Every structure is written in C-alpha cells, then in structure tokens.
Amino acid sequence: MHEHCHKKTAEFSWDDIDTVLLDMDGTLLDKHFDDYFWEQYLPEHYSLIHGISVEAAKKELLSRYCQVENTLAWADTDFWSRELGLDIPELKLRINHLIGVHPYVIEFLEFCLQMRKNLYLVTNAHASTLSIKLERTAIGPWFDRVVCAAEVGLAKEEPLFWEGLEKMLNFDRKRTLLVDDTEQVLFSAEQYGMGHLLFVARPSSRQRTRYSCRFPSIEYFKELLPR
C-alpha cells in the first residue's frame, strides 16, 4: 500500500451479490481507538509499571507486536494479558468512550438489510474486545451472525480461513463481497477466490487516506449507497 496509489473505484452490481462480509476495526469502527490504545495508552501504562520511559516501553511493545502480527495471537487479549501481566480488557474499558462507528455505516447496514443481503461481521478481534465494542456501538443486531476468527481457528490473513468460514456460513464465494481495511486480508481472500473485494482507505479519522494499489477503495460507505 503506497501513499501515491490512485483510487480504483468499486465497480460491481448489487444483483451479483448475495452475501456481504464486513470487517470491524477500521472498516465499521474508527481505528483511532485501537491505534491510540496499542501505540499510546498501553505503552504509557506499561512504562509506569516497569519504571521505564514511554519511548522504551513503545519500543519493547512494538517488537512484541511484530512477532505475532497476522496471527490470532495479535488480537488475543488473553494472550496479551498473560504476556504483559496486565488486564487488557479492563484497560480497554477505561477508554471505551473513544470507540466510534464510522460515518454512513448504519445507513449502509440498513441498505444491506433492505436489499435482503446476508450480512456478517467477520473480525480477528478477540471475544472480549468484541463484546466491549458491540456494547458500546450497538451494531450487533444488524448482522445475521458475528464471527470471531478464533471460531474458525485461523486469522483472516490465512487463505484457509475463508474455506473454514464458507463451511460455517455456507455462502457462494463468487457472489460474496468482502470489505476490509487490511490489504493482507484481501490478498488471502483473493487467493481463496472471493468474488468481490473492497479496501477501506480511511480506517482512522486521525490518519490520511491511503488507497490500495491493488484493490478498489472507498473512504466512506456512502460511496456504496444509491445516489
């Protein structure tokens, strides 16, 4: 993903889509919460406990994050609570006022419902994080089902994840749209043969828009709504 990629516009017909799979963090919810939690709030807390500078804490945590990137452990709050000796869900709850839904998301969910699409939330997030976010945002009831990657046993970055999800939800891959803000996830879904792929170019309200060079991109779900 490069800063200078030009936007590719999504071109598909809703008539060709039965099922819509939506990622949570960055796609439906503003990723500012997650970025702030992992890059700022947790290092500050960690630095206090260990009597080290915030910079040193950031450096140490970043190298630990990198070791488990693109795996289920990365999103596993139990794993991090054990690893760091901290109650991660409790710390997330303390700043849950920062959890927010992106503009036009509710309108898009309503549109999918009206169009009678099968609608699934599919996230790498751990069950404890998911419950905090669903409670805060109340978006859960829009979905036919909410699936944590741990239920499949693989992260979404693994092409085999989608095979497992298909068995679980029984969708037609060619007639399915996946929307995600992680290119690696879209690459794995592409390998598996997912029919329609869409990249979210503005996952955080505090970051610049960055289009995918490979996949069609949207900044807001408004772009998918009938004009």
- Residue 1: per-residue pLDDT: 47
195 dihedral zone (left: phi>0; alpha: psi -120 to 50; beta): alpha
How many structural domains compose the chain?
2
Q: Annotated catalytic, 35?
A: no
Same domain, 59 and 104: no
Residue 104 lies in a domain: yes
148 contacts 180 by C-beta, under 8 angstroms: no
Catalytic residue among 16, 87, 144, 172: 16
Structural domain boundaries enclosing 170: 14-31+100-224
Cα 189 to Cα 1, 24, 26, 45, 161: the distances in Å are: 17, 16, 18, 36, 9
| Domain assignment present for 1 | no
Residue ranges of alpha helices (H) inside the chain are 32-36, 42-50, 54-67, 72-75, 77-84, 88-94, 105-114, 127-137, 149-152, 159-169, 183-192
Contact status, residue 167 vs residue 154, Cβ threshold 8 Å: no
Q: Could you tell me if 139 and 220 lie in one domain?
A: yes
Same domain, 23 and 121: yes
Do 104 and 215 lie in one domain? The reply is: yes
Q: Are residues 52 and 62 in the same domain?
A: yes
Between the CA of residue 11 and those of 199, 208, 217, what are the distances in Å? Answer: 13, 24, 10
In a domain, 2, yes or no: no
Give the pLDDT of the chain (227 residues) as one tens digit per residue. 455 789 999 889 999 999 999 999 999 999 999 999 999 999 999 999 999 999 999 999 999 999 998 888 888 999 999 999 999 999 999 999 999 999 999 999 999 999 999 999 999 999 999 999 999 999 999 999 999 999 999 999 999 999 999 999 999 999 999 999 999 999 999 999 999 999 999 999 999 999 999 999 999 999 999 88
Say yes or no: 66 and 157 in one domain: no
Domain assignment present for 7: no
